[in-house]
Amino acid sequence: MFVLERSDFIARRTIRCGPAVHDSGRWLSEEPMPSSPYPGLYGLQVFVVEDEALVAMLLEDMLADFGCVIAGIAGTLRDAQTQLSAISMIDAAILDVNLGGEFIFPVADLLAERGVPFVFSTAYATPELLERYPRSKLLRKPYAADALARALTEFLGSGSTH
């Protein structure tokens, strides 16, 4: 099934193939995809905040290839804050730093308070991010899928996810 929605600069699409089960409002495959090079990421619930629609769709594809579940996706600071108040389970997040001139810090603060590890995704040289959020990771755009997978895997190895 292919669904394309347009909302707040974000194009969303959902692809479901093969057998699936419904679990707490999310669709999960019964078993990890054997071709995934990162089986440890299977089922990881990831929240994505990205204001560029094409980048957001690319992230969705990467995460799907890893076997992750999209816990939510937001394109604005307000949307991210609203979704976070409604989502109870997030294992990790990927945060674009600059959302159309608004900085992601209020969302990063909420995630840090909840103990959710996150990756900053940015084209800017911002070493102060890691000083302010020492448990976070920083990926400079553009980055390869392997770099994102390694960052998420490091969270698992450090026990930083729920």
Reply yes or no on whether the pLDDT at 160 is more than 90.
no
Quote the percentage of the chain above a pLDDT of 90: 64
Amino acid letter, 107 = V
Spatial distance between the Cα atoms of 112 and 135, rounded to a whole number of angstroms: 9
Q: Domains, the chain, ranges and CATH?
A: 2-157 (3.40.50.2300)
pLDDT band at 124 (very low <50, low <70, confident <90, very high): confident
Sign, CA dihedral 149-155-156-162, equals negative
Is residue 151 over pLDDT 70? Answer: yes
With bands split at pLDDT 50, 70 and 90, how would you rate the model's confidence at 128?
A: confident
* pTM of the full structure: 0.77
Q: How far apart are the first and last CA of the chain?
A: 30
Give the side-chain half-sphere CA count within 13 A for 104. Answer: 28
How many Cα atoms sit within 13 Å of 23 on the Cβ side? 11
21-72 per-position pLDDT tens digit: 344 444 444 444 556 678 899 999 999 999 999 999 999 999 999 999 999 9
pLDDT for residue 16 is more than 70: no
The model's confidence at residue 12, banded by pLDDT at 50, 70 and 90, is very low
pLDDT at 77 over 60: yes
For residue 1, is pLDDT > 50? Answer: no
What is the distance between the alpha carbons of residues 49 and 97, in angstroms, rounded to a whole number?
A: 9
